[in-house]
């Protein structure tokens, strides 16, 4: 115990710093992410996280990893730590376009929300719910996948690369009743029904 006494102030400071909120908004001021290929996601907005699909009872999700410097680049469309919430009705098909403009490997996988606290995620919760090679990620590229949720509950669209989800690289995915309306909530804003 005596050996720990000299470092206790540092541990306390680190714990306090980890609880300090980020600057106003969700940007990390002054942080730049080198090597981004902006042309891969030109025209994509944070609201493109959830849009109506081409078919009845289908939705389109556009996930851009490292959209900006929020959470030091570990974000989807600028959001992390589940602060963007996609509400999807049970049985609706979800078509996902995943874009990683970064030279750092990222991926996308549907997992149980509780699994965002794990260093390593497993397999997708819903059949088809992940990019290829979701555990090793991909760099400077796009991938597409589709899944149809068959169980209500709280899930996450997370980066499957080791330790990324636990670092906050995920957005919330709530599967709601089949007769519910799909919606997108960004931060503290009111949810917007997707029509």
* Cβ neighbours around 13 below 10 Å, total: 10
Instruction: Give the pLDDT of residue 33.
Output: 86
Instruction: Give the pLDDT of residue 30.
Output: 58
Q: pLDDT tens digit string along 60-91? A: 999 999 999 999 999 999 999 999 999 999 99
Structure tokens, 119: 């260093």
Contacts of 21 (CB under 8 A, 6+ apart): none
Instruction: Give the pLDDT of residue 23.
Output: 44
Instruction: Give the pLDDT of residue 183.
Output: 98
Instruction: Give the pLDDT of residue 180.
Output: 98
Instruction: Give the pLDDT of residue 29.
Output: 52
For all residues of the chain together, what is the average pLDDT?
A: 88
Instruction: Give the pLDDT of residue 169.
Output: 98
Rounded mean pLDDT for each run of 10 residues along the chain, 195 residues in total: 45 42 48 89 95 98 96 96 99 98 97 95 95 94 98 98 96 99 98 97
Instruction: Give the pLDDT of residue 32.
Output: 80
pTM of the model: 0.83
Q: pLDDT tens digit string along 150-163? A: 999 999 999 999 99
Please, what are the domains in the chain? Answer: 37-193 (2.60.40.420)
Measured distance CA(184)–CA(111) in Å, rounded: 18
Instruction: Give the pLDDT of residue 107.
Output: 98
CA 166 vs CA 40, 49, 73, 172, 174: distances in Å: 26, 21, 14, 13, 19
């Amino acid at each position: 115990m005596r050996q720990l006494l000299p470092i206790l102030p540092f541990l306390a400071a680190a714990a306090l710093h980890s609880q300090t909120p980020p600057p106003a908004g969700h940007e990390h001021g002054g942080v730049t992410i080198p090597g981004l290929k902006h042309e891969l996601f030109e025209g994509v907005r944070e609201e493109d996280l959830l849009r109506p699909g081409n078919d009845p009872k289908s939705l389109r999700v556009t996930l851009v990893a490292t959209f900006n410097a929020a959470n030091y680049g570990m974000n989807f469309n600028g959001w992390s730590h589940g602060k963007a919430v996609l509400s999807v009705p049970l049985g609706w098909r979800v078509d996902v376009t995943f874009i990683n403009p970064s030279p750092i490997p990222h991926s996308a996988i549907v997992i149980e929300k509780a699994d965002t606290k794990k260093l390593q995620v497993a397999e997708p919760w819903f059949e088809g719910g992940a990019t290829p090679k979701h555990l090793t990620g991909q760099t400077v590229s796009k991938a597409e996948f589709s899944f149809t949720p068959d169980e209500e509950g709280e899930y996450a669209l997370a980066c499957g690369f080791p330790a990324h989800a636990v670092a906050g690289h995920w957005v919330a995915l709530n599967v709601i009743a089949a007769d519910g309306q799909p919606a997108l909530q960004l931060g503290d804003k009111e949810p917007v029904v997707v029509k």
